[in-house]
Amino acid sequence: MNADVVIVGSGIAGLTAGAILSKKGKKVVIVEKKAHFGGALRQFKRNKISYDVGFHYTGCLGRGEILDILWRYCDVLKDISVIPLSIKGYDHFEFPDRSEPVYGYFSYEQFAAELLRQFPSEKHGIDTYFSEVQKICSEVPFYNTEFSLTAFLRGYKSRPRSLVDFLNTITKNVHLRAILSTPAFLYGVPIRQASLEVHAMVAHGYYLGAYTVAGGGQSIVDSFLSTLTRLGVELFSESDVISVEAENGAVTGVKLASGEKIFCSQVIFTGHPAQIVDMVPGSTFRPAYKTRLRELKNSLSLFAVFGRGDRRLDTLSGALNYYLLPSKGEVVPENCNTPHHLRPMMMTSTRSGKGESLHPDRNGIILLRLGYWQDVVQFEKSNQGQRSDEYEEYKMKIAREMIHIAEERWGDICGTIETLAVGTPLTFRDELAATEGCAYGAMHCLDQFNPDVRTRLSGLYLCGQSILMTGVAGASISGLVGAGEILGLEALWEEVTKCT
Ligand SMILES: Cc1cc2nc3c(=O)[nH]c(=O)nc-3n(C[C@H](O)[C@H](O)[C@H](O)COP(=O)(O)OP(=O)(O)OC[C@H]3O[C@@H](n4cnc5c(N)ncnc54)[C@H](O)[C@@H]3O)c2cc1C
């Protein structure tokens, strides 16, 4: 089989790159190792309830914002029903030692006003925080599309500043620090390792306004799949790419585990960058680059309970996410020895069925708690379907603890929770092909330079959440950049940004 470009992985990064390249006339093949397309965006079902894994909400989908523009350009937005989240307060931040929740409004003005109401003596710190986040993002092309994308990507990257050092200069209030740090939950980096710049880039999108999608992540995937099919893209599932073939320093194709080869001159790899090292001929990368990729530190993982409440959680007029944050220490602790009950946890619900936000009879509840690879490393050799009784007991014990806390704290809104599925870092490793079960790929943190989209091997590009920025927005934008490196970056950027 021949193609112009083979895209390895069908998560949002691969789907975005595929839509752009095929629209521009390239013959594209997307190859996915799992049985279903969509990567972390796909849903799974238990007892007729559809559960999202890697998509609950996102920023950047407001009219004229980058995801709106990009998905419009990809011709997928017409089939995606974007739901702006209630301005009444979509994240509820709660602490064991604080009676009233703090409402995380998705608007700079309203969020700042709520924080001032709750922390009246902290005006200077609150103002400084929001103005610094806005200042950092004012020159980021994803947020201000008048700026050149090429200059931003190739420009000198100044040394990132520490989020903790910054917070130290603005407030000593433990609860306020925790709330301002909470976006770290959306990029999976312990606060001590978080950089102010990455924090700002992720948080800014949500502070401008947060959105979900009717039918959840699956409807985003379905919309991309229908456009890709219409554009003639060939998609193969259950096809594991085991190597990228090259000759004279340039890509010639990929080889699948089945032995089949697809010949092409360009490959976009969207899996974890550490995995590419053993997929290319041994002399392709310099030893230092190989070591850098292999030793990339990974973002944190999660424990997840997918259950059913006996009350309906109305996430569109109430809160979307109920957070229980620790009162002591950092909100996202560095140390895996942090006892489970001192880790942040959140409750959200499912948004099932296209065209409807919630199914009245199917009160799908999702509980997420911070997890570390070290929590499950003793079980790492086990595969799905063959786990030990010891692991099953461990997993269910954690699920029971999480349910107990959720029912105790939020029982009046979710009722009694029945467990339908439980995920651990091991589940994420196996289900999402995520090294060490990391929820957000390689960490975007203080002392780590994540790899560039371009590689030393001509025709090989790296995209996905580990490269530019995390989340659906970050991964989708990386797909745009990958396609841009093939088509001409700045010309594509100009074309995409006109698509308002
Ligand atoms: C529990 C959880 C909750 C989240 N919540 C949110 C949220 O609310 N909002 C948000 O914006 N983000 C959220 N995220 C993060 C978001 O889902 C991801 O950042 C994003 O979907 C990653 O997209 P991607 O394309 O980079 O990678 P992926 O979706 O992981 O796709 C990569 C694909 O490549 C495939 N692949 C890898 N190697 C190979 C190979 N050799 N051959 C063939 N295929 C291969 C994999 O199977 C996978 O399908 C969450 C993540 C998790 C885990």
What mean pLDDT value characterizes the chain?
Answer: 92
Q: Specify if 93 maps to a domain.
A: no
Q: Which of 186, 209, 232 is the last residue of a domain?
A: 209
The tally of domains found in the chain comes to 3
What confidence tier does 315 reach under pLDDT thresholds 50, 70, 90? low
Rounded to the nearest 10°, the torsion over CA 398, 403, 409, 410 is 140
Q: Is residue 78 domain-shared with residue 221, that is, in the same domain?
A: yes
Q: Is residue 75 domain-shared with residue 156, that is, in the same domain?
A: no
> What is the average per-residue pLDDT within 267-277?
97
Q: Is residue 304 domain-shared with residue 433, that is, in the same domain?
A: yes
CATH code assigned at 477: 3.50.50.60
Question: Is the distance from the beta carbon of residue 212 to the nearest atom of ligand 1 less than 6 Å?
Answer: no
Residue 438 in contact with residue 470, Cβ under 8 Å? no
- 294-309: burial string, b at 16+ Cβ within 10 Å, e else: eebebbbbbbbbbbbb
Nearest CA to ligand 1 atom 17: 54
pLDDT beyond 70 at 4: yes
Pocket test for ligand 1, best of 56, 85, 367 (most atoms within 8 A of CB): 56
- E-strand spans in 237-300? 241-247, 250-256, 261-263, 266-269
Q: Is residue 431 domain-shared with residue 376, that is, in the same domain?
A: yes
Question: Is the distance from the beta carbon of residue 470 to the nearest atom of ligand 1 less than 6 Å?
Answer: yes
As a whole number of angstroms, the distance between CA 119 and CA 126 comes to 9
Give me ligand 1 centre to Cα 440, in Å. 7
The reported pLDDT for the residue numbered 406 is 96
The reported pLDDT for the residue numbered 192 is 94
Nearest CA to ligand 1 atom 50: 54
Residue 405 in contact with residue 94, Cβ under 8 Å? no
Q: Is residue 351 domain-shared with residue 479, that is, in the same domain?
A: no
Question: Is the distance from the beta carbon of residue 205 to the nearest atom of ligand 1 less than 6 Å?
Answer: no
The reported pLDDT for the residue numbered 383 is 80
Q: Is residue 176 domain-shared with residue 280, that is, in the same domain?
A: no
Q: Which of 17, 5, 3, 34 is nearest to 428 (CA)?
A: 34
> What is the average per-residue pLDDT within 315-321?
70
Residue of 156 and 321 predicted with greater confidence: 321
> What is the average per-residue pLDDT within 265-285?
96
pLDDT beyond 90 at 407: yes
Q: Is residue 434 domain-shared with residue 314, that is, in the same domain?
A: yes
Q: Which of 194, 209, 224 is the last residue of a domain?
A: 209
> What are phi and psi for residue 4, nearest 5 degrees?
-80, -50
Atom number in ligand 1 closest to CA 464 = 26
Which of 227-231, 349-353, 422-426 is predicted least confidently? 349-353
Q: Specify if 99 maps to a domain.
A: no
- Both structure tokens of 231: 């554009």
Q: Is residue 360 domain-shared with residue 334, that is, in the same domain?
A: yes
Q: Specify if 218 maps to a domain.
A: yes
Unique residue bearing structure tokens 């603890």: 401
Q: Which of 97, 137, 118 is nearest to 180 (CA)?
A: 118
Give me ligand 1 centre to Cα 441, in Å. 8
Percent with pLDDT over 70 in the chain: 96
Q: Is residue 79 domain-shared with residue 219, that is, in the same domain?
A: yes
Q: What is the pTM of this model?
A: 0.95
Q: Which of 193, 209, 225 is the last residue of a domain?
A: 209
Q: Specify if 101 maps to a domain.
A: no
Question: Is the distance from the beta carbon of residue 11 to the nearest atom of ligand 1 less than 6 Å?
Answer: yes
The reported pLDDT for the residue numbered 362 is 61
Question: Is the distance from the beta carbon of residue 438 to the nearest atom of ligand 1 less than 6 Å?
Answer: no
The count of other CB atoms within 10 Å of the CB of residue 452 is 15
Q: Which of 34, 9, 8, 1 is nearest to 237 (CA)?
A: 34
Give me ligand 1 centre to Cα 235, in Å. 17
Give me ligand 1 centre to Cα 475, in Å. 8
What is the SS3 assignment for 471? helix
The reported pLDDT for the residue numbered 355 is 41
Q: Is residue 202 domain-shared with residue 238, that is, in the same domain?
A: no
Q: Is residue 306 domain-shared with residue 419, that is, in the same domain?
A: yes
Question: Is the distance from the beta carbon of residue 477 to the nearest atom of ligand 1 less than 6 Å?
Answer: no
Q: Kindly report, residue by residue over 338-389, the tens digit of the pLDDT.
A: 999 889 999 998 865 444 444 455 688 999 999 999 999 999 998 877 899 9
Q: Specify if 357 maps to a domain.
A: yes
Pocket test for ligand 1, best of 201, 244, 472, 478 (most atoms within 8 A of CB): 472
- Both structure tokens of 362: 């199917």
Residue type, 123: K
What confidence tier does 413 reach under pLDDT thresholds 50, 70, 90? confident
Q: Kindly report, residue by residue over 135-189, the tens digit of the pLDDT.
A: 999 999 999 999 999 999 987 666 789 999 999 999 999 999 999 999 999 999 9
Q: Specify if 89 maps to a domain.
A: no
Containing structural domain, residue 196: 106-209
Q: Specify if 100 maps to a domain.
A: no
Measuring CA to CA, how many Å separate 125 from each of 111, 167, 198, 279? 14, 8, 19, 48
As a whole number of angstroms, the distance between CA 240 and CA 433 comes to 11
Q: Specify if 165 maps to a domain.
A: yes
- 239-274: burial string, b at 16+ Cβ within 10 Å, e else: bebebbbbeeeebebbbbeeeeebebbbbbbbbbbb
Q: Is residue 160 domain-shared with residue 251, that is, in the same domain?
A: no
Q: Kindly report, residue by residue over 452-496, the tens digit of the pLDDT.
A: 999 999 999 999 999 999 999 999 999 999 999 999 999 999 999
